[in-house]
Copies of this chain bind each other. A is one copy, B any other.
Amino acid sequence: MKNKITSRSEDYSKWYNDIVSEAGLAESSDVRGCMVIKPYGFSIWELMKAELDKKFKETGHENAYFPLFVPKSLFEAEEKNAEGFAKECAVVTHYRLKNDPNKKGKLIVDPESKLEEELIVRPTSEAIIWKTYKKWIQSYRDLPILINQWANVVRWEMRTRLFLRTSEFLWQEGHTAHASKEEAVDETKLINDIYSDFAENFMAMPVIKGYKSESERFAGAEETLCIEALMQDGKALQAGTSHFLGQNFAKAFDVKYADKTGKLDYVWATSWGVSTRLMGALIMSHSDDTGLVLPPLLAPIQVIIIPLFKPKENVDEIEGKTTEIFQLLKSSGIRAKIDDRENVSLGFKLNDSEIKGIPMRIIIGQKEIDDDKFDVFFRHSLKKKSSDFNSLFELFSSSINSIQNEMISQSKLRLKKNTHEVDSYDKFKELISSQSGFIIAGWDGTNETEEAIKKETKATIRCIPELTDPQGINCIYSGKPARYKVIFSKSY
């Protein structure tokens, strides 16, 4: 059984592609830059969705659905937002095809079906949503509006990578409306905390929270909060963003509310989102040269049970034990599966479960039953623990949490080991060019410095963890007093 995964040291980028492909997560489609999310990959995304959706609802948010298309005149209403996305918009210009008079069986766009106004396939939905909110909001009684939408969006990308950057992707986008700036700011933080908790506790991927610098902010936002994760190759990955939009969209769409005294003011807004990009982050956080590694809480199959039948053995007994442990696991909510495929070898099954990152595996054969000794294989550590049959359920059950916690600890350790504070540009450059990782350093707060560092080292400001003056620290680049301590890194 030859492992088809390229090793990380050989070619990190190919390693990633191999895992996405061999684990059956996604593949490229015939549509430029768009992916097919395969069933196994999609089932991981479904687990992510379910948990995030629960967290949103617990904090008072409701789901709704807004149109896929945005008329151009609405799209351009908030100028900064429009400018930010204009260069990557798929545009619908016609609404009908007709038979090609010159080629039988072929179709052409019917020129008579040209739309009076072009429709933009949503790259994000602020425009269409705020146009709708205008109808919904008259008074403070109509606020807050706390809405989320699970949807597909399209941003035309020239260089794409499965999950990490695709022209169409799936995401959730929250869009909230508030009667005060403070409430909107609090919402932005609440959501960024939800993202951070989810990343750490479910994805086992600790993140650094912070604010984006002006140049990295969402187009149309006053402030962008984000969570930044660190991949195994030392590059950062922006895993979620939560934007305080001020009154920009309310002004663009003239959305005002009357307060208790009847005074009119523009409504305050936030928007926030995570996408199928999280799949890329999950893959790159934990996987190894054997294949995918999944934290149990996001594993579609947490335990794979492989019955092993050899000639002249007691098939009924093996099947009985297999079913017994499967039922026990299932009835207590553990996602278990029996791999009883007849047309593939044991070696194939073992390899398959490892490539797919199934957290725990057990083989049930005559020898194991006779010896009352069963080996549970743990994917994250590649180690085994033995157990008698009666203790098996307890071992599986307790290991869900212990594996999850071990993976969180490992990731935290990696994050810590790869986060360095520097006080000189020389050290900065040395680190960035060798191991990369997160580099904490003083920044004078200017665009010029940010640009220069980016140009010279390819590192960008991933986030500003605290918007406070770091007393007595200088900017590593300009030597001037630092305005903030920030996190630099190369990034995806």
Could you list which residues of chain A lie within 8 angstroms of chain B, going by C-beta atoms? 27, 29-31, 34-39, 42-43, 46, 62-72, 74-76, 79, 82, 86-99, 105-107, 109, 118-121, 128, 131-132, 135, 141, 147, 151-152, 154, 156, 168, 170, 343
Contact = CB atoms under 8 A, between A and B. Distances in A.
Copies of this protein in the assembly total 2
Contacts of A30: 71, 74, 128, 131-132
B63 A42 contact: yes
Contacts of A154: 68
A42 B69 contact: no
Contacts of A87: 96-98
Contacts of A74: 30
B95 A88 contact: yes
Given A34-B68, A168-B68, A42 B29 contact: no
A170 B343 CA distance: 39
Nearest to A34: B67
15 contacts: A27-B135, A36-B65, A36-B132, A37-B64, A39-B147, A42-B63, A82-B107, A90-B92, A91-B92, A91-B94, A91-B95, A91-B96, A91-B109, A92-B121, A151-B152
Nearest to A131: B30
Given A39-B147, A128-B31, A132-B29, A156 B65 contact: no
A338 B380 CA distance: 46
Contacts of A94: 90-91, 93
A301 to B, nearest CB: 12
Nearest to A90: B92
A93 B34 CA distance: 16
Given A105-B76, A107-B86, A66 B96 contact: no
Given A93-B91, A109-B91, A37 B65 contact: yes
Contacts of A91: 92-97, 109
A95 B106 contact: no
Given A30-B128, A36-B67, A68-B154, 15 more contacts: A34-B67, A34-B68, A36-B64, A37-B65, A39-B63, A39-B64, A39-B147, A68-B121, A72-B107, A79-B105, A88-B95, A90-B92, A90-B94, A91-B92, A141-B343
A63 B46 contact: yes
A135 B36 CA distance: 12
Contacts of A168: 67-69
A331 to B, nearest CB: 16
Nearest to A127: B30
Contact of A156 (B36, B67, B95, B151): B95
A65 B93 contact: no
A366 B88 CA distance: 61
A86 B106 CA distance: 11
B68 A107 contact: no
Give the top 5 A-B pairs by smallest Cβ distance, nearest first. Answer: A39-B62, A34-B67, A37-B65, A86-B97, A95-B156
A220 to B, nearest CB: 14
B39 A107 contact: no
A63 B43 contact: yes
A347 to B, nearest CB: 17
B107 A75 contact: yes
Contacts of A42: 62-65
Contact of A118 (B39, B82, B109, B135): B109
A222 to B, nearest CB: 20
Contacts of A89: 95-97
Contact of A96 (B37, B76, B88, B147): B88
A107 B76 contact: yes
A292 to B, nearest CB: 17
